[in-house]
Structure 1
Amino acid sequence: MPLLENHLAVITGAASGIGRAIATGFAREGARVVLLDINEQGAAEAAREIREAGGKAESFGLDVTLREDCRAVAKTIADRVGQVSVLVNNAGINRRNAFTAEADAVIKDWQDIMAINLNGVFNVTHAFLEPLRASKGRIVNIASIQSFVHVRTPNSPAYTASKHGVLGFTRALAAELGKHGVRVNAIGPGLIETPLNEHVRNTNPQLVQIFLDHTPLGRAGKPEDIVGPAIFLASDLSSYVTGSIVMADGGYRAI
């Protein structure tokens, strides 16, 4: 029996990268998936590919920074699709300006990154809270190795702060929602090859090498490397797991 049969899973940032891979993997395991992304066309294309492969998928455009839009899309899904039982908060961005860079750029980085990476997780989770409570659902937040450390590469401190916040939010919700049967966990990816970091990887091989030199497995991850942990946390395989983070970082935090 597929691990996610009879589940309705919503994935943010699902037009590409990790979110798209998770949506595809969930559909293979029998879930009906709803792909949300500010890139509405990309989400629609990904949903179409899932349907063509025999899966069940819908998509909607969503800017996770807009709280009222999050509530509206949650209502639309409830009315048109069904009761959500799995939520994956994956939407996120990164910037690589140092804190000592030009002031306006640093301030904009902070505002933009926090709005998407942390406030966006709050907005979406709050919008879907009632169906998740009703279904005794599962929430999977995409955190980072930077939920623990600030990596030794040019990197915005806002990103590190936001991902620390995601892990803290995960633990706080797990403690509060456990009595409702809702499990809340996170995944901590290391360097994953996605469109989000493609330009940096292509133009700054030294940065990539810094990551690889600190990664026991000696390679960058692929979006598909996050799918297994996501299925585990969304399925009954992890029925007694909550408030945890599953690291998928090639061993980065081991050394």
Structure 2
Amino acid sequence: MPLLANHIAVITGAGSGIGRAIALGFAREGARVIALDVNADGAAETAKLVSDSGGTACSFPLDVTDRAACVAMAKRIADAIGPVSILVNNAGIARRNGMTGAADAVVKDWEDVIAINLTGVFNVTHAFLGSLRANKGRIVNIGSIQSFVHIRQPSSPAYTASKHGVLGFTKALAVELGKEGVRVNAIGPGFIETPLNAATRASNPDGVRLFIEHTPLGRAGQPEDIVGPAIFLASDLSAYVTGSIVMADGGYRAV
């Protein structure tokens, strides 16, 4: 039997990159996938890719910073589709700017990154919490190597702070919900080539080279490299795993 049969899985930021790859992987393992993204066209394309490959999926636009919209979406899905038992909090942005630039830009970066990467995780989780508790659900949050370390070039204090927060939130929620059978874990990607960082990769090839040189596997990751860890954490294979982060960083933190 497929590892995620009979599960309904919600994935935020599913319109491209890691979120899209996880959606396709979950569908291959039998989950009914709900692709959410602020980019409605991207989410719809992900759902179509799932359907074209023989899976079951639908999509909806969602801005994770809009708490009321998250609550309304959870109700809409519960009424129209069914109880959600897997939640993947993947939506995020990266602004690679330091603290010493123009004050307005620094403040704008901080507010936007924290709102999406951290408060967005809270908003979506809180909205779907009733269904997840009722169904002994699984929450998978997308952290980063920057849940532990700060990458100097280019600097990104807002991003680093947001991903430290995601890991802390993961641990706190795992402790609170463990006795109800809800498991909460995270994945810590390293340097993954996605549309999110395409501009940075194009403008900073030396930074990319230095990052890969520090990575024992000697290559950048691909979105598909995150799918296996996500399936593991969402399935019964990880039945005794909670409050943990699975690193998928090519060995970056081992050096």
| Deviation of 1:67 (Å) | 0.1
- The alpha-carbon deviation at position 215 of structure 1 amounts to 0.4
Within 5 Å, which residues of 2 pair with 1:1-255? 1-255=1-255
Counterpart of 1:152 in 2: which secondary structure? coil
In structure 2, give the amino acid aligned to 1:250.
Answer: G
Residue type at the aligned position of 1:134? A
CA displacement, residues 27-81 of structure 1 (integer Å, 9 cap, x when unaligned): 0000000000000111011101111111000100000000000000100100111
Instruction: Please list every run of at least 4 consecutive aligned residues from structure 1 whose deviation after the TM superposition is greater than 6 angstroms.
Output: none
CA distance in 1 between partners of 2:150 and 2:200 (Å): 17
Percent of aligned positions that are identical: 75
Q: TM-score, normalised by structure 1?
A: 0.99
Q: Is the 8 A contact 1:153 1:210 kept in 2?
A: no
Amino acid at match of 1:18: I
* Equivalent AA in structure 2 for residue 214 of structure 1: H
Classify the secondary structure of the residue corresponding to 1:128: helix
SS of residue paired to 1:187:
strand
SS at match of 1:100: coil
Deviation at 1:154, TM superposition (A): 1.0
Distance 2:28 2:229 in 1: 14
Number of residues paired by the alignment? 255
What CA deviation, in whole Å up to 9, does each residue of 1:168-222 have, x standing for no partner?
0000000000011000000000000000001111221101012111100010000
Deviates more, 1:124-133 or 1:95-104: 95-104
| Aligned 8 A contact 1:11 1:23 in 2 | yes
Which 5+ residue runs of structure 2 have no aligned equivalent? Answer: none
Stretches of structure 1 that go unaligned for 5 or more consecutive residues are none
The 2-side partners of 1:46 and 1:233 are apart by 21
**Cα deviation digits, residues 96-138 of structure 1 (max 9, x gap):** 1111111111000000000000000000000000000000000
Moved more, 233-242 or 204-213: 204-213
Partner Cα distance (1:217, 1:123) in 2:
36
What is the Cα deviation at residue 155 of structure 1? 2.4
Q: How far does the alpha carbon of each residue in 1:212-242 deviate from its partner, in whole angstroms, 9 at most, with x for none?
A: 1110001000000000000000000000000
